[in-house]
Amino acid sequence: MDHVVITIARQYGSGGRTVGKMLAERLGISFYDKQIIHMASDESGIDVNLFGKIEAGDKIKTSLFGNKSSIYKGDLVRPGSRDFISDENLFNYQAKVVNDLAEKESYVIVGRCVNYVFKDRPNTLRVFVHAPWEFRVEQASQKISGSREDVEKFLLKDDKRKQEYYRKFTGGVWNDATNYDLCLNSGKLGFEKCVDAIEAQLKIMLDK
């Protein structure tokens, strides 16, 4: 049987990352997040800081969103090409890492559009964690210093960054429920029950 992969996309402040870590611990499998960019850097030999820039949206701003040529197809550009450090190749190396990992183990992963990369992969459960605005502001305020206005500006900016990143590499809409198998409101359910819901859905999927 193929290894199981649970992908988690989440709004900042929804606790999606916390839910992912709790789920991985409960299932006894690996949890991946930003480690992927370091692994992609090691795989490609490309400076990890370049991966960090695309992650933060710094490089994406200069690109034309919606350009079909940037949508993920899995092709890698090898060293020596002028496109070796292009946005698309940086994304594709991250996709290669998550694909290679899936050949070796089951895991939970946050972000990186893996729900799209694995859209046709068996034994993949694609989850989106969201929450009401007030809940997100409250949660984000525990990590971000500044006024409520500062926190709200950060949340709006982060939502926009994720929308643009997802659109560029998938051609789709990041928070569109049809891109996921399960959408959870962590503000209503709480983190523990979100984990319960994902585990229950996973059992249903594997019993088919």
- Outline where the chain has alpha helix (H): 16-27, 35-44, 48-56, 87-104, 114-117, 133-141, 148-170, 186-189, 191-207
The share of the chain scoring above pLDDT 70, in percent, equals 92
pLDDT at residue 197 is higher than 90: yes
pLDDT at residue 137 is higher than 70: yes
Q: Is the entire prediction scored with pTM above 0.85?
A: yes
pLDDT at residue 13 is higher than 70: yes
> If pLDDT is split at 50, 70 and 90, which confidence band does 159 have?
very high
Q: Give the long-range contacts of residues 60-66, CB within 8 A, separation 24 or more.
A: 60/87, 60/161, 60/164, 60/165, 60/168, 61/164, 63/87, 63/168, 65/164, 65/167, 65/168, 66/167, 66/168, 66/171
What confidence score (pLDDT) does residue 63 get? 47
What confidence score (pLDDT) does residue 174 get? 96
> If pLDDT is split at 50, 70 and 90, which confidence band does 171 have?
very high
Q: What is the mean pLDDT of the chain?
A: 90
What confidence score (pLDDT) does residue 24 get? 98
Distance CA 182, CA 1 (A): 22
Element (H, E) at 109: strand 107-110
What confidence score (pLDDT) does residue 59 get? 53
CB contact at 8 A, 131 and 14: yes
CB contact at 8 A, 92 and 74: yes
Smallest CA-to-CA distance from 9 within 163, 191, 121 is with 163
